[in-house]
């Protein structure tokens, strides 16, 4: 390398360093990273999360922000890939952001949460439901959604008490979230004396399920529980119905999305889905729902209000604890309760909500849903 | 027993698609001895063109004649992807023709990543989906309530695959250009010395491979109805496996390999567990290569001195 190049390089390096230093000093905003899938097959859920968090930031800023500072939502795309989630978490650490709302998929939340715990960053996930996430003994990890060991029994009990099938198949996508909840459901229905005839995993991104449909049909399966997300279940429904397999189907909140009707069409009619209660139907949230509708957004998605609540809890804690130190905030959050759009919430020692309800909905071909009594 | 036949139908449908894509790998390998890793992306692009054309025709222009839509979509997709196939060869491989074998391989992987991102930026990274254009089918037999279902779409996939395979086989066996292709695959330098424009033949190979991948892409977007920019990777790996299984460089081998792969996946999920379908498919590949290193129908490579 000649000396001219070396000079240019060192000038460039120092410019970068100076630039970063400059940024660190110019902090008069409080940054909250919102991490989830913005692209990829399950980006629809990311939309719900981003929408809820951004609305919270906007409304709280309109009320004057926190301690005279404005909030800023920094959107980060993890594509629901564990690998990408770690890269995003590293970026959050490097950018010195102290609060995270996310991640969305359990599989990506788990590896990211380790970094947040180690670096003392406060993380509240509005969507990841796998129980393991809060069973790691971490102090910085919270969630504003229920867990699969609440959701699984809700689904399992409904199957056992209401449907009473003769021959159940439990299928999952081999991912942390899908397989986790499928196992919970299997455990619940087996405890109630029902036999699970088939317990099998499909692959994420698989598109041909015709062999599986034929297998379930010839095994005389009359009810199927699917643990996973909508792209696979949509195709399973479509291909199974086409083969004339007419068993009932049920899935967790990961399948409750408009796109399942776009993929499966008429085959999505009658699908049962366990979802958080529809917070947008709560009269206490009427003005918030109107704010979403004014922006042409749909507040009824399962993760919108939990994401809004996550941001609000961070802000309320900063105000209440009179500090911006995430470690002290985590302590404060554990000891206090908060009034949010998902109700009055308080946390257990491990970061889970003390109470959370899942409700069974019936899905319709026009992508609407109605609660099942 | 009826269940078995249903699984055969499922496997043949899957296998036909693999076979159509596998031919692109095998032809290129047969002539210039490289693996065109961007081939899966060609298939993905044609699935997009297929879905967009069908949606445009039915929704935008209100065309209701299904055979017309099908013919037009196939034609549009084949034309467009042939152009992609030609351009890829021209841009990414031809300048590297005389470089060591590894270089065009890396270039192919680069092209594959480029095309994925290119579609992702142009069309969005989300799934696109479409309702079936052709629905319905025949049901027959009844064995303790189990009926075989053969959909019109599955029949269409089989028929279209057979038509294009036959056309390709005739083209390679009978036409002048086909003869040139065969000559190139035997000895590229010698063919060149004999006055055949080998660059043109190589371009033609890419165009033909892309055209068959286009057929597969259109069929899959009609059959499955859900696509995203990443479907080319999985399909590409499976089709490449099919090509190796059948004997890379051999066109009938690619057809056979695709069918065997489709059937083995189908049977593995039916009689073992769905989790094992890829395990079985790839174990089969390893077994075949252990006993026949050149694949089922591949010819042992003659050392060229």
Domains of chain A, with CATH numbers? Answer: 26-145+282-357 (3.40.50.2300), 149-270 (3.40.50.2300)
Residue of B nearest to A203 (CA): B275
pLDDT at A21 over 60: no
Residue of A nearest to B275 (CA): A201
Q: What is the pLDDT of residue A357?
A: 87
Query: How far, in Å, CA of A354 to CA of A342, rounded?
Result: 13
Residue B133: list chain A partners with CB under 8 A: none
Establish if B20 belongs to a structural domain: yes
Say if the Cβ atoms of A244 and B139 lie within 8 Å. yes
* DSSP string covering B205-240: HHHHHHHHHHHHHHHHHHHT-EE-TTHHHHHHHHHH
pLDDT at A24 over 50: no
Q: What is the pLDDT of residue A25?
A: 43
Q: In sequence order, what are the residues at sequence separation of 6 or more whose Cβ sits closer than 8 angstroms to the Cβ of residue B238?
A: B18, B21, B261, B281
pLDDT class of A40 with cuts at 50, 70, 90: confident
Q: Which of A44, A170, A211 to mutate to test the interface with B (most CBs of B within 10 A)?
A: A211
Q: Are strands A168-172 and A196-201 parallel, antiparallel or unpaired?
A: parallel
Residue A52 contacts residue A126 (beta carbons within 8 Å): yes
Q: Does B121 touch chain A (CB under 8 A)?
A: no
Q: Which of B9, B16, B125 to mutate to test the interface with A (most CBs of A within 10 A)?
A: B125
Residue B273: list chain A partners with CB under 8 A: 200-201
Query: How far, in Å, CA of A103 to CA of A154, rounded?
Result: 24
pLDDT class of A2 with cuts at 50, 70, 90: low
3-state SS class at A253: helix
Q: What is the pLDDT of residue A27?
A: 62
Q: What is the pLDDT of residue A26?
A: 46
> What are the two backbone dihedrals, phi and then psi, of residue A291, each rounded to the nearest 5 degrees?
-60, -40
pLDDT in tens, A280-330: 888 999 999 999 999 999 898 899 999 999 999 999 999 999 999 999 999
Query: How far, in Å, CA of B245 to CA of B240, rounded?
Result: 8
Query: How far, in Å, CA of A101 to CA of A276, rounded?
Result: 18
Query: How far, in Å, CA of B213 to CA of B168, rounded?
Result: 13
Domain count, chain B: 1
> What are the two backbone dihedrals, phi and then psi, of residue B146, each rounded to the nearest 5 degrees?
-90, 125
Q: What is the pLDDT of residue B116?
A: 93
Residue of A nearest to B263 (CA): A211
Q: Which of B120, B127, B267 to mutate to test the interface with A (most CBs of A within 10 A)?
A: B127
pLDDT at A149 over 50: yes
Query: How far, in Å, CA of B232 to CA of B21, rounded?
Result: 10
Residue B155: list chain A partners with CB under 8 A: none
Task: Compute the nearest-CA separation of B274 from chain A (Å).
Answer: 6
Residue of A nearest to B138 (CA): A243
Residue A269 in tokens: 């009619």
Task: Compute the nearest-CA separation of B14 from chain A (Å).
Answer: 8
Residue B140: list chain A partners with CB under 8 A: none
pLDDT at A13 over 60: no
Q: In sequence order, what are the residues at sequence separation of 6 or more whose Cβ sits closer than 8 angstroms to the Cβ of residue B93?
A: B32, B34, B36, B104, B107, B108
Q: When comparing pLDDT for B109 and A16, which is higher?
A: B109
* DSSP string covering A275-329: EE--GGGSGGGHHHHHHHHHTT--TTSTTHHHHHHHHHHHHHHHHHHT---HHHH
Q: Are strands A343-346 and A337-340 parallel, antiparallel or unpaired?
A: antiparallel
Closest CA to B232 of B65, B74, B56, B38: B38
Say if the Cβ atoms of A214 and B228 lie within 8 Å. no
What domain range is B159 assigned to? 2-291
Residue A323 in tokens: 């500090």
Task: Compute the nearest-CA separation of B65 from chain A (Å).
Answer: 21
Query: How far, in Å, CA of A367 to CA of A286, rounded?
Result: 22
Chain A positions with Cβ closer than 8 Å to B: 39-41, 43-44, 79, 171, 174, 200-203, 205, 207-208, 210-212, 214-215, 217-218, 220, 231, 234-235, 238, 242-244, 259, 262-263, 265
pLDDT at A17 over 50: no
Say if the Cβ atoms of A215 and B269 lie within 8 Å. yes
Closest CA to B266 of B1, B9, B92: B9
Say if the Cβ atoms of B6 and A235 lie within 8 Å. no
Say if the Cβ atoms of A41 and B127 lie within 8 Å. yes
Residue A21 in tokens: 């230093």
Q: What is the pLDDT of residue A18?
A: 45
CATH of the domain at B212: 1.10.3470
ipTM score for this prediction: 0.90
Which of A40, A79, A263 has its CB closest to that of B226? A263
Query: What is the mean predicted confidence (pLDDT) over A125-147?
Result: 94
Establish if B105 belongs to a structural domain: yes
Cα→Cα distances B285→A289, B25, B56, B243, B280, Å: 56, 16, 41, 10, 9
Q: What is the pLDDT of residue A119?
A: 95
Establish if B299 belongs to a structural domain: no
Start-to-end C-alpha separation, chain A: 75
Establish if B201 belongs to a structural domain: yes
Task: Compute the nearest-CA separation of B217 from chain A (Å).
Answer: 13
Residue of B nearest to A243 (CA): B149
- Point out which residues pair with B151 in neighbouring strands: B137
pLDDT in tens, A181-218: 999 999 999 999 999 999 999 998 899 999 999 999 99
Q: Does B112 touch chain A (CB under 8 A)?
A: no
Query: How far, in Å, CA of B212 to CA of A100, rounded?
Result: 48
Establish if B301 belongs to a structural domain: no
Establish if B111 belongs to a structural domain: yes
- Is cis: bond before B150, omega within 30 of 0? no
Establish if B296 belongs to a structural domain: no
Query: How far, in Å, CA of A102 to CA of B208, rounded?
Result: 47
Establish if B297 belongs to a structural domain: no
Residue A76 contacts residue A88 (beta carbons within 8 Å): yes
Q: What is the pLDDT of residue A7?
A: 55
Phi-psi region of B187 (alpha: psi -120 to 50; beta: other; left: phi over 0): beta
Residue of B nearest to A77 (CA): B125
What letter would DSSP give residue B92?
A: I
pLDDT at A54 over 50: yes
> What are the two backbone dihedrals, phi and then psi, of residue A362, each rounded to the nearest 5 degrees?
-105, 130
Q: Could you say which residues of chain B have pLDDT below 70? A: 144, 300-305
In this structure, of A24-28, A238-242, A274-278, B144-148, the range with the lowest mean pLDDT score is: A24-28
Q: In sequence order, what are the residues at sequence separation of 6 or more whose Cβ sits closer than 8 angstroms to the Cβ of residue B284?
A: B245, B260, B261, B264
Q: In sequence order, what are the residues at sequence separation of 6 or more whose Cβ sits closer than 8 angstroms to the Cβ of residue A81?
A: A40, A108
Q: What is the pLDDT of residue A319?
A: 93
């Amino acid at each position: 390398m000649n000396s001219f190049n070396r000079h240019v390089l060192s000038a460039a390096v120092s410019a970068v360093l100076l630039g970063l230093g400059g940024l660190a000093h110019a902090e008069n905003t409080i940054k909250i990273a919102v991490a989830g899938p913005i692209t990829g097959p399950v980006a629809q859920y990311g939309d719900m999360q981003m929408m809820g968090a951004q609305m919270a930031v906007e409304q709280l800023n309109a009320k004057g922000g926190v301690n005279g500072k404005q909030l800023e939502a920094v959107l980060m795309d993890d594509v629901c890939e564990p690998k990408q989630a770690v890269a995003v978490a590293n970026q959050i650490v490097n950018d010195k952001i102290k609060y995270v709302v996310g991640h969305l998929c359990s599989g990506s939340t788990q590896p990211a949460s380790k970094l947040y715990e180690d670096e003392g960053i406060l993380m509240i996930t509005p969507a990841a439901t796998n129980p393991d996430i809060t069973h790691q003994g971490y102090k910085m990890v919270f969630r504003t959604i229920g867990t699969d060991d609440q959701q699984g029994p809700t689904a399992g009990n409904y199957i056992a008490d209401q449907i009473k099938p003769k021959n159940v198949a439990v299928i999952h996508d081999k991912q942390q979230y899908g397989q986790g909840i499928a196992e919970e459901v299997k455990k619940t229905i087996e405890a109630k004396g029902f036999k699970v005839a088939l317990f099998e995993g499909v692959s994420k991104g698989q598109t041909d399920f015709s062999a599986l449909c034929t297998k379930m049909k010839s095994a005389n399966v009359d009810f199927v529980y699917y643990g996973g997300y909508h792209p696979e279940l949509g195709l399973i429904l479509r291909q199974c119905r086409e083969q004339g397999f007419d068993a009932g189907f049920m899935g967790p909140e990961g399948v409750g999305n408009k796109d399942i009707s776009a993929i499966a069409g008429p085959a999505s009619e009658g699908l049962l889905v366990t979802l958080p209660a529809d917070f947008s139907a709560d009269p206490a949230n009427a003005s918030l729902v109107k704010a979403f509708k004014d922006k042409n957004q749909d507040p009824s998605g399962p993760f919108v209000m939990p994401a809004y609540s996550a941001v609000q809890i961070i802000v309320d804690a900063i105000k209440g604890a009179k500090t911006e130190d995430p470690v002290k905030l985590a302590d404060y959050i554990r000891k206090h309760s908060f009034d949010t759009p998902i109700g009055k919430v308080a946390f257990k020692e491990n970061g889970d909500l003390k109470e959370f309800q899942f409700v069974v909905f019936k899905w319709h071909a026009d992508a609407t849903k109605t609660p099942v009594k | 027993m009826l269940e078995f036949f249903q699984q055969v139908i499922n496997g043949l449908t899957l296998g036909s698609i693999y076979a159509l894509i596998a031919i692109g790998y095998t032809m290129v390998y047969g002539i210039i001895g490289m693996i065109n890793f961007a081939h899966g992306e060609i298939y993905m692009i044609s699935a997009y063109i297929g879905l967009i054309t069908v949606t445009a025709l039915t929704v935008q222009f209100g065309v209701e004649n299904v055979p017309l839509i099908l013919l037009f979509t196939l034609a549009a997709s084949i034309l467009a992807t042939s152009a992609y196939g030609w351009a890829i060869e021209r841009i990414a491989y031809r300048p590297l023709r005389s470089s060591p074998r590894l270089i065009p391989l890396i270039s192919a992987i680069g092209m594959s990543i480029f095309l994925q991102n290119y579609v992702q930026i142009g069309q969005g990274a989300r799934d696109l989906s479409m309702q079936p254009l052709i629905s319905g089918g025949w049901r027959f037999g009844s064995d303790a309530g189990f009926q075989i279902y053969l959909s019109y779409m599955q029949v269409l996939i089989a028929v279209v695959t057979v038509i294009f395979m036959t056309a390709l086989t005739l083209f390679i066996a009978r036409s002048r250009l086909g003869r040139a292709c065969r000559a190139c695959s035997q000895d590229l330098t010698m063919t060149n010395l004999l006055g055949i424009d080998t660059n043109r033949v190589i371009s033609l190979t890419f165009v033909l491979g892309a055209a068959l991948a286009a057929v597969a892409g259109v069929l899959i977007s009609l059959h499955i109805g859900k696509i995203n920019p990443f479907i080319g990777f999985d399909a590409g790996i499976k089709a490449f496996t099919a090509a190796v299984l059948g004997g890379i460089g051999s066109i009938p081998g690619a057809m056979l390999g695709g069918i065997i792969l489709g059937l083995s996946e189908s049977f593995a999920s039916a009689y073992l567990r769905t989790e094992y379908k890829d395990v079985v498919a790839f174990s089969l590949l390893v077994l075949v290569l252990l006993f026949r290193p050149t694949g089922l129908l591949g010819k042992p490579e003659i050392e060229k001195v």
